[in-house]
Amino acid sequence: MNKSENISAAVLDKSFKGESGVLYTMFSAREGVFNCLKKIGVKSFGTLPDFFDEVSIDAEFIGQSDLRIMRDFEIIKGRGAMSKNYDAFLHAGEMCRCLIKNGKYLESPAPVHGAFQAALDAMAQGARPALTRFKFMYVFAKGEGYALKQDFAKTLPVNLRAALREALTKPAQDCIMTQAEEAALLKNLLVWLAENTDFAS
């Protein structure tokens, strides 16, 4: 007998499989990153989950495969409007890519899922995308045990340390740092992660 379950998850990626299916990569607080196939009909395209949407799905495993089949779904929170903002779409997409690379074997996906949802909500409400992505990446990597507070901060140029303190203590929409400073924070974090950790950013 196939195992059925209900899961609340965010859409990280999607790709069409021929003319009759969409393969979703999704992220949930309980399961982490997983793949789910939705079989579709000719009239289904306008109602399917889209990038960044939070969706409640009824799914089941088929045989011994780890692929789930999406039998039904309800879009809990649609974030399609983010596609109209290039910077938000770009940085949200990069967060999704990071989760796909690092999120499949998380011991405790719930905190990361919460931070990811908060970041998407902030971007959808107009928060600065690069800074919001920086905050998410920092929280994600720190939660995985990397010594950002001890080591990363020390590598920053002196003129960015005040911006780092602001980024870590205020919501993105309340920060007054320049766009150049937020871009530099993000770039420095990505470089530090690449050079000092196994974290794929």
pLDDT of residue 81: 87
For residues 93 and 182, state if they share a domain: yes
Question: What's the pLDDT tens digit per position in 133-156?
Answer: 999 999 999 999 998 988 998 999
Question: What's the pLDDT tens digit per position in 17-51?
Answer: 877 889 999 999 999 999 999 988 765 556 789 99
pLDDT of residue 1: 47
- Number of domains forming the structure of the chain: 2
Query: Looking at per-residue confidence, does 10 or 44 come out higher?
Result: 10
Which structure tokens are listed for 176?
A: 């007054």
Domain limit, last residue, from 54, 78, 102: 78
pLDDT band of 199, cuts 50, 70, 90: confident
The CATH number covering residue 16 comes to 2.40.50.140
Domain limit, last residue, from 43, 78, 113: 78
If phi > 0 it is left, if psi is from -120 to 50 it is alpha, else beta; for residue 108 that is beta
pLDDT band of 162, cuts 50, 70, 90: very high
Domain extent, residue 73, equals: 4-78
pLDDT of residue 43: 58
Record the pTM: 0.91
The answer to whether position 201 is within a domain reads no
pLDDT of residue 67: 85
